Amino acid sequence: MAYNVDKSDAQWREELSPDQYAVLRQAGTERPWTGELLDEERAGVYTCAACNAELFKSGTKFDSGCGWPSFYESVDPDAVQLIEDNSLGVARTEVRCANCGSHLGHVFPDGFGTPTGDRYCMNSISLNFSEKSGE
């Protein structure tokens, strides 16, 4: 897939911290319960830490108890790219930023009690947060 933001590996390495690069560009995972945005409760918008594209609104965030920020839907279905991931021998669905292709986390169909039944389990380090009232 062609992305709106297309940078070389060297450019990504220069712009992102080593930890961000490991998650966003190499599909790594931060340790659970360590992310800065896990307990964020203010109203606002979550954007891609690599390209600043809007991804999630705070009103869709919920406490799933998994150790990573969880949302039940993205701001727009076209904001994220869903890709089949069998890397651990288990069928999962990877979530990438549709604007730059950066790895964000995975989505699971176990968001029980949410309007969609989905749990977008996102790496905190792959997101930025901007406070906005009414989100």
Active site residues: 121
Cα(41)–Cα(57) distance, integer angstroms: 11
How far apart, in whole angstroms, are the C-alpha atoms of residue 24 and residue 48?
9
Cα distance between residue 96 and residue 75, in whole Å: 14
> What letter does residue 31 receive in the DSSP assignment?
P
